[in-house]
Amino acid sequence: MDDTGNTTSGEEQITVVIPGNLIAQIDAQVGSAFVDRADFIRSAIRDYLEHIRKSQGTAPSDIG
């Protein structure tokens, strides 16, 4: 990670505040199909962006 918070792999680290009840729901899923909370959240964001893309009828993009 460099001094701007970016990793060398093109990823960027952010801070997000998530309510405890959502964290509990995430934690209930972690371990079954996901490595950790971050893996779950990345997957959820990708799925949501794909949902938006499909509902808007836009071309596929590289959403990681």
- Alpha-carbon distance of 16 to 40, in angstroms, equals 14
The Cα 59–Cα 35 span in angstroms is: 30
pLDDT in tens, the chain (64 residues): 455 555 667 889 999 999 999 999 999 999 878 889 999 999 999 999 999 999 998 776 665 6
Contacts of 19 (CB under 8 A, 6+ apart): none
Supply the pLDDT for residue 7: 60
